[in-house]
Structure 1
């Protein structure tokens, strides 16, 4: 007997946030994640849900398969992307930031930070899918074997290889949300007040800046390395375009970040990666395709530059 429509909808609604969480971590953009969520719903709505013993597992597995298929289709496109590719940010006003529990903070910083999602772009689609489902969503190797159509031993190797690459590229540092916010605020104030010394003091000497314009907005085509060069980059923007820059503290993917403004128009969304009480990396999202939702959130237009 087909499960009642309202019951099927209620089950899906109960797990929708988790489905989106899987899809966003896999694809890195809200629109692609929403496509995966919609396709998961269509498949869920087309089966006899009474035959599904564990709906959550079925839904997450389906979203994982769809996300993997999506990653494979995107691979060639991202290889020809103009400049560094950064995820689409999920933003909130600073007034909406609530202090998370230690468990929530760990999930936010490990699962959806711009730093981690950017690093995951280095992994092959199967590596990324296996790593995220195993590390963030507690999938065992048997479940991964079924999803990837591989043996459990092969899945262990894939996860191990991905974990090693992740940890080599981004060692773990313990940074609490208060320290992260303090450094984000200090950097924002230094930028607004045009204080080069204060800005450099926020950065590790070998800090790196990534800027994503996607060929649709002015951005650095290559990473900028060192605190001095990063300071010169921001000074150069101000001088070249004669822009007085304003910076407002916001939440970006669960962590303190900032929105760069010129006359109440959004220039970019900025996220930080913190190591050893200093900013190790700066991620600047400038591609207008990735800023439209931020504009809607803050009720501000994008600056066409």
Structure 2
């Protein structure tokens, strides 16, 4: 279901400020990212660079061997199919996924990504940067929204039970101490089954608490009344990327590059159904925020 900000009767106003930092919603209409910033969906910006960075392993012979006899399964998570082709064509033993990640980290200064939220005030973001989830802050926010007397069944007791139930501080839960981003903006805005709920309702943890303290309908209406859906475009420093994140993208990139060599092959990577979410365990300083935009039409998976 699509959410449209202009027709939402609950939408609230934005505080003024930082209008000069607003950029186009369409990445192809923006200024190109710097050559030392990797931008995943802009294939033309990195295709030849990566073929060049890996030319000692991804030789003409490797490409020819792939085209002559493509593997039955070309997947990004397990690149043993490509490691085997490289060994047969060159005699070199390599973990090409890890090698690609290492060379990307050495070549690029930053990794272009976006963070989605809902806010009525841009100032905290441009002053303090994007911050990892601190559960206590969201819980206080839940108190201010849901325990203000407007919701009949909401209570501090229900909030305590909700906090216990969601268990955001559990290290395996993927919430506390993480900042979530997407490398492909479609995952936030238009992809069915994507992450558009961050834009429509804001913090996922806040939403999860709300539907336990109040009703789902009340929670949705309350959170939709806060400002506007907001996407922050960022250049994440390579040193902030988790050790497992770049190999994940390296696999997706190599799958795409090799599938391009054969007309009939379609890579899952960068397809409309492909996800691109990742997290970093650090706050992202405001200096690394490129700009923001307010999407008006969003696919709401909720």
Greater share of helix:
1
Which has the greater radius of gyration?
2
Q: TM-score w.r.t. structure 1 length?
A: 0.22
Larger relative CO (CA 8 A, sep 6+): 1 or 2?
Answer: 2
